[in-house]
Amino acid sequence: MSESPHPRIRVHELADHPTLAERVLFWTLQPTLLGAVLVAWIAAPDSPLLYPLTLLGVHLFLGTLEYVIPARPAWHQPLTEKLGLIVIAAISLTVGGTASELYNTLLAEPLTSWRTAMNLEVWPHHWPLIVQVFLVFFASEFIWYWMHRAQHRCPPVWRVSGHGAHHSFKKLNAINFGANHPVELFWIVFPAVFVDLVFGVGAAAYGALLLTTTQTAIVHSNLRLNAKGIGWLMTTNAWHIRHHSANLEESNTNYGCAAILWDRVFGTFANTGVIEAGIGPRETTALEKLLIPIREPEGSVIAPSR
Ligand SMILES: [Zn+2]
């Protein structure tokens, strides 16, 4: 039988005849990058500069590697395309910051009063900070898992959240972590803010934010990365690229964008390569992406129908 002209890409496997550098990056990139970000946070846990510096460093590093050793050369983003995505990501981050401030303004007082009234001071502040970071991380991802699953299973939620815009890109690179419809940022930032306010987390919330931000960049990256071991709990790019598949059944898996743990617990984890990403056979226009909360683009096959 002849080979398919569009083979399934499996980014969690090394290419034929890899160089030593490709092998080292394949095995170490994800844990090393996550570890480096957490070490930087431990060294300067309150520094407001850490977030922008992490964003800049992570994306310069991953973006450079995507140009040099892309897993899928067809997903190369020319400079003009990359600049457009950087602008979209900057808008997303700005809206996300505003949404986060709004939630804090509206919810901080009632949730704090409720916690006190219910005597729910259960957060383990005496535990090592790094353990608390992972506790916030997995708790936030638990909420996000169900919100994201609702986006893909419930047509009105898919529509109002504008989630289709994030899926509408045919090529995935690390910068796609921020390629969302602006309205979706009100969804994306909610879980972490909610966990922080309900439990009165404090210092560890910032570490968890850095961990999640770095993870979401890695899981969209167009690089070959190992998924053994780390892929039991953390989402890898192989798992997340499958979620971006242009096949409806395949896209309804792997809802955890930073942690894959909850997909394993609730039976939505799947592990096969994908042939193509997107919401259909073609790249949607910028206007179609913007109008997604109002109108599904023609040819879209990923939107839930019932
Ligand atoms: Zn999705």
pLDDT tens across 223-237, in order? 999 999 999 999 999
Q: Which amino acid is at 172?
A: L
Task: In the chain, count H helices and then E strands.
Answer: 13, 0
pTM: 0.94
For ligand 1, the distance from its centroid to the CA atom of residue 276, given in whole angstroms, is 15
For ligand 1, the distance from its centroid to the CA atom of residue 253, given in whole angstroms, is 9
Q: Which amino acid is at 276?
A: E
For ligand 1, the distance from its centroid to the CA atom of residue 278, given in whole angstroms, is 11
For ligand 1, the distance from its centroid to the CA atom of residue 117, given in whole angstroms, is 37
For ligand 1, the distance from its centroid to the CA atom of residue 163, given in whole angstroms, is 7
For ligand 1, the distance from its centroid to the CA atom of residue 113, given in whole angstroms, is 34
Residue 21 DSSP SS3: helix
For ligand 1, the distance from its centroid to the CA atom of residue 183, given in whole angstroms, is 15
For ligand 1, the distance from its centroid to the CA atom of residue 62, given in whole angstroms, is 22
For ligand 1, the distance from its centroid to the CA atom of residue 303, given in whole angstroms, is 10
Q: Which amino acid is at 92?
A: S
Residue 234 DSSP SS3: strand
The token duo for 232 is 């039991």
Q: What is the pLDDT of residue 119?
A: 84
The token duo for 20 is 């030593």
Q: Give me the average pLDDT of each 10-residue run along the chain (306 residues).
A: 59 90 97 98 95 97 97 94 96 97 96 88 94 98 98 96 96 96 97 94 96 98 96 97 95 97 97 89 93 92 86
For ligand 1, the distance from its centroid to the CA atom of residue 152, given in whole angstroms, is 6
Extents of the domains making up the chain: 20-290
For ligand 1, the distance from its centroid to the CA atom of residue 167, given in whole angstroms, is 6
For ligand 1, the distance from its centroid to the CA atom of residue 43, given in whole angstroms, is 34
Q: What is the pLDDT of residue 2?
A: 41
Cα dihedral 93, 95, 98, 102 sign: negative
CB 212 within 8 A of CB 235: no
For ligand 1, the distance from its centroid to the CA atom of residue 124, given in whole angstroms, is 32
For ligand 1, the distance from its centroid to the CA atom of residue 9, given in whole angstroms, is 19
Query: Residue-wise over 94-123: b if at least 16 C-beta within 10 A, else e?
Result: ebbeebbeebeeebeeebeeebeeeeeeeb
For ligand 1, the distance from its centroid to the CA atom of residue 175, given in whole angstroms, is 16
For ligand 1, the distance from its centroid to the CA atom of residue 98, given in whole angstroms, is 22
For ligand 1, the distance from its centroid to the CA atom of residue 158, given in whole angstroms, is 9
Query: Residue-wise over 43-59: b if at least 16 C-beta within 10 A, else e?
Result: eeeeeeebbeebbeebb
For ligand 1, the distance from its centroid to the CA atom of residue 254, given in whole angstroms, is 9
For ligand 1, the distance from its centroid to the CA atom of residue 273, given in whole angstroms, is 16
For ligand 1, the distance from its centroid to the CA atom of residue 110, given in whole angstroms, is 31
Cα distance between residue 17 and residue 133, in whole Å: 39
